[in-house]
């Protein structure tokens, strides 16, 4: 057997500090029914009409999809009353984050965002060789004034997750507009609205309204959450043509599959039926949130398809306790637990598991009563 000689090629040193995205999902003990409440998935399967177009599209997967999904781009432009030049697409929003990083970010740039927030933010920044400025949340919400004050000469971009992942809290549209009016127009402001469909009574301008008013605003949305197509990876964004065109140059050709395009198009046509399911998720979210608050847990009002349990340093302990009951939630160490809304049984089991953990803990549970 021959031995390899030398050290071989070396990856960029910047990657040494990059954490893998969700490297180790939680696991339920053997024999316990697991509930996947850690990935913010839609609990409902695809609509029958969506499954039908998926099956039809599967017969043609020996062919490449379009270099750009032009039919989907046209449908999204109609849906949002904008020009097709303003639409960008990718394999999930993470694919678009990579386009934006390649097009806009340079080693040494500063990226500003709230924390805790979408865990991809520091990963995107680190891969690009950027410096991060993490601004702590204030009472679970973005501290917009502190974020504005953190912007300096080297700031290239501000990332905003609205509603925020993992806390579910919403920045009112008027507050976000006032914030944007303070931001230099050469600083990119990325507004991630992955959970926008779970905010039916949103007040003031949305991210889509704001991108029309501010040339430095990019809005990202996805078919993974409300539309229930997480496994097909379809994300999209809206930006002014100069930015959108630059991002498209960095996109992977044929990055959105034929099946994903067909499913997304049919989902847009079936929005009334899909959004009825969204209303069920919202109702379940609000009921479970009220029950957990009644138990004494700190649960801020959520505008997403998940709840945030603010439990600080006890997050890991509580996560382990409910995991033993099959409740697989996302633990954010030293901050809290994000619990996705699941089906009826999953939500009931989560309520019982959390109640049991509160009742039996010797170290922290009683402090919540």
Please compute the mean of the pLDDT values over residues 319-345 and round it to a whole number.
95
pLDDT at 4: 67
Please compute the mean of the pLDDT values over residues 264-273 and round it to a whole number.
96
* Whole-number average pLDDT of the chain: 92
**Predicted confidence band of residue 202 (pLDDT cuts 50, 70, 90):** low
pLDDT at 89: 96
Tokens of 73: 């781009």
CA angle, 119 then 230 then 332, to 5°: 25
Please compute the mean of the pLDDT values over residues 328-344 and round it to a whole number.
96
pLDDT digits (tens, 9 = 90+) for 222-262: 999 999 999 999 999 999 999 999 999 999 999 999 999 99
Instruction: Return the higher-pLDDT residue of 3 and 354.
Output: 354
pLDDT at 369: 43
pLDDT at 8: 79
pLDDT at 31: 74
Query: Residue 157 — φ and ψ, nearest 5°?
Result: -155, 150
DSSP run (H or E) holding 155: strand 155-161
pLDDT digits (tens, 9 = 90+) for 140-173: 999 999 999 999 999 999 999 999 999 999 999 8
Contact call for residues 305 and 41 (beta carbons, < 8 A): no
Please compute the mean of the pLDDT values over residues 90-102 and round it to a whole number.
95
Contact call for residues 104 and 188 (beta carbons, < 8 A): yes
- Residue 228 gets the label, from left (phi > 0), alpha (psi -120 to 50) or beta, of left
pLDDT at 6: 73
pLDDT digits (tens, 9 = 90+) for 20-59: 766 566 777 777 788 999 999 999 999 999 999 999 999 9
Helix, strand, coil % in the chain, rounded to nearest 5 = 45, 15, 40
- Rounded Cα gap, residues 239 and 87, in angstroms: 7
Model confidence at 204: pLDDT above 70: no
Model confidence at 3: pLDDT above 90: no
- Rounded Cα gap, residues 108 and 154, in angstroms: 8
Query: Residue 158 — φ and ψ, nearest 5°?
Result: -120, 130
Question: 132: which residues sit within 8 A by CB, 6+ positions away?
Answer: 110, 111, 112, 113, 121, 122, 125, 126
**Predicted confidence band of residue 10 (pLDDT cuts 50, 70, 90):** confident
CA distances from 65 to 134, 224, 250 (A): 39, 20, 17
CA angle, 191 then 181 then 136, to 5°: 55
Please compute the mean of the pLDDT values over residues 289-314 and round it to a whole number.
95
Per DSSP, the three-state class of 27 is coil
Contact call for residues 207 and 217 (beta carbons, < 8 A): yes
Q: Which of 62, 77, 44, 164 is nearest to 115 (CA)?
A: 164
pTM for the structure as a whole:
0.93
Contact call for residues 43 and 281 (beta carbons, < 8 A): yes
pLDDT at 364: 57
pLDDT at 24: 62
Question: CB neighbours (10 Å) of residue 359?
Answer: 11
Please compute the mean of the pLDDT values over residues 206-228 and round it to a whole number.
95
Percentage of residues in the chain with pLDDT exceeding 90? 84
């Amino acid at each position: 057997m021959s031995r390899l000689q030398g050290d071989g090629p070396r990856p960029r040193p910047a990657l040494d500090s990059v954490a893998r995205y969700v490297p180790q999902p939680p696991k339920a003990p053997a024999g316990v029914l697991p509930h996947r409440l850690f990935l913010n998935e839609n609990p409902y399967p695809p609509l029958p009409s969506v499954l039908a177009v998926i099956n039809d599209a599967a017969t043609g997967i020996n062919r490449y999809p379009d270099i750009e999904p032009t039919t989907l781009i046209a449908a999204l432009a109609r849906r949002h009353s904008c020009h097709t030049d303003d639409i960008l697409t990718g394999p999930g929003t993470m694919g678009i984050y990579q386009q934006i990083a390649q097009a806009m970010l340079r080693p040494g740039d500063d990226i500003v965002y709230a924390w805790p927030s979408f865990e991809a933010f520091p990963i995107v920044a680190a891969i690009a060789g950027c410096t991060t400025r993490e601004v702590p949340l204030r009472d679970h919400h973005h501290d917009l004034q502190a974020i504005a004050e953190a912007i300096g000469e080297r700031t290239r971009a501000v990332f905003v997750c609205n509603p925020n992942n993992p806390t579910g809290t919403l920045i009112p549209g008027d507050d976000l507009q006032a914030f944007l009016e303070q931001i230099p127009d050469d600083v990119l402001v990325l507004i991630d609205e992955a959970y926008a469909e779970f905010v039916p009574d949103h007040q003031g301008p949305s991210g889509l309204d704001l991108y029309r008013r501010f040339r430095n605003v990019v809005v990202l949305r996805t078919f993974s959450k409300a539309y229930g197509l997480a496994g097909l990876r379809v994300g999209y964004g809206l930006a002014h043509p100069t930015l959108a065109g630059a991002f498209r140059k960095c996109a992977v050709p044929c990055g959105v599959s034929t099946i994903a395009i067909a499913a997304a198009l049919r989902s847009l046509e079936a929005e009334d039926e899909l959004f009825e399911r969204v209303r069920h998720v919202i109702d379940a979210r609000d009921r479970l949130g009220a029950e957990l608050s009644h138990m004494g847990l700190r649960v801020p009002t959520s505008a997403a398809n998940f709840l945030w349990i603010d439990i600080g340093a006890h997050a890991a302990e509580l996560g382990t306790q409910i995991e033993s009951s099959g409740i697989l939630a996302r633990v954010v160490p030293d901050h809290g637990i994000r619990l996705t809304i699941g089906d009826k049984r999953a939500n009931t089991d989560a309520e019982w598991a959390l109640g049991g953990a509160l009742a039996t803990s010797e170290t922290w549970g009683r402090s919540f009563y």
